[in-house]
Amino acid sequence: MDFDLTDEQRLLRDSVERLVADRYGFEQRRKYAAEPGGWSREMWAQYAELGLLGLPFAEDHGGFGGGAAETMIVMEAFGRALILEPYVATVLLGGGLVQAAGSAAQQAEILPRIAGGETVLAFAHTERQARYDLADVATAARQDGGAWRITGEKGVVLHGDTADTLVVSARVSGGRRDAAGIGLFLVPAEASGVTRRGYPAQDLLHGAEISLHDAPATPLGTPGEGFAAIARVVDRTIAALCAEAVGAMAELHAMTVDYLKTRKQFGRPIGDFQVLQHRSVDMFTALEQARSMAMYATVMADSDDADERARAVSAAKVQIGRSARFVGQEAIQLHGGIGMTMEYKAGHLFKRLTMIDKAYGDADHHLARLAAAGGLFSEAA
Amino acid sequence: MDLNFTEEELAFRDECRRFFTTEIPAALREKVAQGDHLSKDEYVTTQRILNARGWAVPHWPVAWGGQDWTPVQTYLYQDEMQQANVPAPLAFNVSMVGPVIAQFGSEAQKKRFLPRCANLDDWWCQGFSEPGSGSDLASLRTTAKRVGDKYIVNGQKTWTTLAQHADWIFNLVRTDPTAKKQEGISFLLIDMKTPGIKVRPIQTIDGGHEVNEVFFDDVEVPAENLVGEENKGWDYAKFLLGNERTGIARVGVSKARIRRLKQLAAREVAGDVPLIEDRRFREKLAEVEIELKALEMTQLRVVADERRAVKGKPNPASSILKIKGSEIQQRITELTMDLAGPYAWPYTRDEDEGSNEPPVGPDFAAEAAPMYFNYRKVSIYGGSNEIQRNIIAKAILGF
């Protein structure tokens, strides 16, 4: 049992932290947000140069061969800085799916381009009626001669507005909510039959509603057998989002404690008041419990036991959702008026934390999933 | 980052598990699982089995029976013991007075007290709290006046757990009434059979008798029973309270209770459906499991950090363990009471002692409400959760 980082991991952490400290201050971030699609191409190139865009890929594919722990390290630093670039969409979701489902040829073609920062991917999966049910896919794929074509509506597609390639889930066979029969397909974002409506989101990331009408598609792996890859990649992504949330919570908590120590009212720092000290302690406890569960999810995210992995990830997502809401709301309250303004980072951290809960299943969804699976501790010792 | 234990650690865990589940009587462990009170004999029996194996005082100095375990081994030992529903060795002996005597006592005191302390030949109780000093321990007022080769002790202690069984009490007493509050305190060992000591039971809201008031009326104590130096008792008390926090999260106990709760919930029906299949109940249970898993991970992080820690200096993060650990234990008692439903209501505890009447309602129900009431204590004792928040505020957040 060991929670220490290896020398390589420490190096990775230091270089990511240095990069965001130098290049991702709050004012700099504001400029990046104003760029097309709401993110910085220059920073994207920087990530590529540091090897972050190929982090989870094999060395043969221009990658770093990193596991969930390396992703956690990067995501925590990204969470502190509120990174806007399509890292999750391209590297973790898009790249992850290519890795999990793609043929050797597809991997060899696409992964090095992701690692090099030459392509941006998005995962067009969620449909309005599905909410958080990963198996609920109505979008249909059919074969027309030798070619596949997809028709359907996809929503809240993270960075779907700026992606050049969409990984689309579509039903090849089975009923609307069957896990079996879901296929994964690559669709060029500019292909005929693809209509995108892009928008900025609450946390300044971008999304898109995407309509597909007989859009030309290339199967990613075997058509109809995509669900296991989706479940695995989404579980890993959730673990990464948990780490991002921990970074954001840690930043928000540190800002709050600093504020309590410097803000003076009634002739003394408000942090002298025990009631405020205790509230910041409760935030700290919520943060550390969340950190523990993010680590747990990280370790379990690479597990091949899908059931065990899903339980761990669900448990972590519940803890993160609860802790993030508590830490976020308390941080705004303890800051008072300044916490309410767009000019101050605390509110932006709160907004991102709030939206992480809504990504890939909120606390209620994952609590129900865990409870239905029998919880974490089996009846027998 | 690796959450797996080494081969050696796993072998050690299995050894612990085997020992606890085969050598400690099953009937006794079942009583613990039920939440029943144990008799003095049952505590003594268990501790002597552990001591015979060398496992009553593993954290003591090796010369006095310690095992020189790694923090991970200590963790595994505690976790397995708790999961097997083995009553822990008496904390007043093994975690409190024993380490203080081993660290600060004279050679004569060590020889006289430590072996008997480890074997529970002497039952110790703790004379710290007083009616006027709870969380503000240093405000204590019990006095000890040196007269020749004796101290004359006068005053009152309270919340003295299981003093009704005790042979000895380790007492904080004020030896210099003129000094500042922390500086005039001494650490005195007192034989409970000494004339002038009176023990009065306090019945707690669960109906049980765990705690007492202890009165000292011109009690004569040989000066050789002073531990360390006169007026240095506060330092020894702080050392002791640091020890008290290890294992305070009681993650293993909560794991065992959750498992039992699940077994019971699979058995108890509401209408035609076992409660475990009630969505609301199942989700409440899952919520506690998540909190507990998080706490287990937090505890492992603290354990891993102990390799680098300064010995005797508790990690302030252990205050998180106390806060969350107590909240989780309390939550589990709430769920057990929810499971008992209307049968939480009858009070049958006294009648059950030595009675062969069948239980009123489900067999676990009689203890459900008493345990809920009793466990309100866990966020109060050992430094209340508010005191733990003060510790975190000061030591970690820098207020």
| pLDDT of B380 | 92
B320 and A285 within 8 Å at the Cβ level: the answer is yes
**Residues of chain A contacting B320 with CB distance shorter than 8 Å:** 284-285, 288-289
pLDDT by residue (tens digit) across B277-331? 999 999 999 999 999 999 999 999 988 888 777 665 667 788 999 999 999 999 9
Mean pLDDT of chain A: 96
Q: Out of A13-22, A52-61, A360-369, B349-358, which region has the weakest mean confidence (pLDDT)? A: B349-358
pLDDT at B349 over 90: no
The CATH 1.20.140.10 domain(s) of chain A lie at 228-372
Q: Which residues contact A319 (CB under 8 A, 6 or more apart)?
A: A289, A290, A293, B290, B291, B294
| pLDDT of A339 | 95
Dig out the tokens for B359 from the structure: 């239980």
Nearest to B321 by CA among B264, B253, B275, B368: B253
Domains and CATH numbers, chain B: 7-89 (no CATH), 124-231 (2.40.110.10), 245-395 (1.20.140.10)
A284 and B3 within 8 Å at the Cβ level: the answer is no
Task: Give B240-301 as a DSSP string.
Answer: HHHHHTTTTT-HHHHHHHHHHHHHHHHH-EETTEEGGG-HHHHHHHHHHHHHHHHHHHHHHH
A84 near A128, Cβ under 8 Å? no
| pLDDT of A68 | 95
- How many C-beta neighbours within 10 Å does residue A325 have? 17
Higher per-residue pLDDT: B355 or B322: B322
CA distance A357 to A132: 11
Nearest to B165 by CA among B97, B240, B90: B90
Distance between start and end Cα atoms, chain A: 21
Nearest to A48 by CA among A100, A104, A119, A96: A119
φ/ψ (deg, to 5) at A346:
-55, -45
| pLDDT of B328 | 98
A277 and B399 within 8 Å at the Cβ level: the answer is yes
The nearest CA of chain B is from the CA of A75 a distance in Å of 16
CA distance B369 to B375: 10
The CATH 1.10.540.10 domain(s) of chain A lie at 7-119
**Residues of chain B contacting A284 with CB distance shorter than 8 Å:** 320, 392, 396-397
| pLDDT of B146 | 97
B282 and A377 within 8 Å at the Cβ level: the answer is no
The nearest CA of chain B is from the CA of A154 a distance in Å of 31
| pLDDT of A230 | 98
| pLDDT of B246 | 56
Q: Which residues of B are catalytic?
A: 244
Residues of A with CB under 8 A from a CB of B: 1-5, 69, 257, 260-261, 271-272, 274, 277-278, 280-282, 284-285, 288-290, 292-293, 295-296, 298-299, 315, 318-319, 367-368, 370-372, 375-381
Mean pLDDT of chain B: 93
Instruction: Produce one character per residue of B23-38: b if its CB has 16 or more CB atoms within 10 Å, e if not.
Output: ebeeebbebbbebbbe
pLDDT by residue (tens digit) across A326-342? 999 999 999 999 999 99
| pLDDT of B3 | 83
Nearest by CB: B389 against A4, A278, A368:
A278
pLDDT at A134 over 60: yes
The CATH 2.40.110.10 domain(s) of chain A lie at 122-224
Higher per-residue pLDDT: A184 or B359: A184
Q: Which residues contact A69 (CB under 8 A, 6 or more apart)?
A: A5, A9, A298, A299, B1
Beta bridge partners of B226: B188
pLDDT at B354 over 70: no
Secondary element (H or E) of residue B198: strand B197-202
Report, as an integer, the average pLDDT of B220-229.
98
pLDDT by residue (tens digit) across A112-132? 999 999 999 999 999 999 999
Nearest by CB: A371 against B255, B263, B282:
B282
The nearest CA of chain A is from the CA of B271 a distance in Å of 20
Q: How far is CA B3 from CA A32, A139, A295, A332, B367, in A?
A: 39, 40, 9, 35, 36
Nearest chain A residue to B289 by CA: give it: A376
A288 and B396 within 8 Å at the Cβ level: the answer is no
Nearest to A285 by CA among A315, A333, A240, A326: A326
DSSP E strand stretches across chain A: 121-124, 140-144, 147-158, 165-171, 182-188, 194-200, 206-219, 264-265, 268-269
Nearest chain A residue to B256 by CA: give it: A381
Ordered alpha helix ranges (H), A116-226: none
Nearest by CB: A2 against B1, B262, B283:
B1
**Residues of chain A contacting B298 with CB distance shorter than 8 Å:** 288-289, 292
A4 and B282 within 8 Å at the Cβ level: the answer is no
pLDDT at B353 over 70: no
CA distance B46 to B120: 10
Of the options 3.40.50.620, 1.10.8.60, 1.20.140.10, 3.60.110.10, the CATH number for the domain spanning A228-372 = 1.20.140.10
pLDDT band at A144 (very low <50, low <70, confident <90, very high): confident
| pLDDT of B312 | 58
| pLDDT of A235 | 97
The nearest CA of chain B is from the CA of A3 a distance in Å of 5
Nearest by CB: B294 against A2, A293, A380:
A293
| pLDDT of A2 | 82
pLDDT at A75 over 70: yes
pLDDT at A381 over 60: no
Q: Which is it for the CA torsion B251, B257, B262, B263, positive or negative? A: positive
Report, as an integer, the average pLDDT of A218-235.
96
- How many C-beta neighbours within 10 Å does residue A149 have? 20
Crossing angle for the helix pair B251-267 and B318-340, to the nearest 10 degrees = 20
| pLDDT of A135 | 97
pLDDT by residue (tens digit) across B112-153? 999 999 999 999 999 999 998 888 889 999 999 999 999 999
Q: What fold is seen in the domain A7-119? A: Butyryl-Coa Dehydrogenase, subunit A; domain 1 (1.10.540)
Assigned architecture for domain A122-224: Beta Barrel (2.40)
**Residues of chain B contacting A381 with CB distance shorter than 8 Å:** 83-84, 256, 259
Task: Give B124-186 as a DSSP string.
Answer: EEEE--BTTBSS-GGG---EEEEETTEEEEEEEEEEEETGGG-SEEEEEEES-TTS-TTTTEE
| pLDDT of B350 | 60
Inter-chain CB pairs, A–B, below 8 Å: 139
Provide the residue type at A288 as one letter. Answer: E
| pLDDT of B318 | 85
pLDDT at A380 over 70: no
Dig out the tokens for B329 from the structure: 């234990």
Beta bridge partners of A187: A166
pLDDT by residue (tens digit) across B59-68? 999 999 999 9
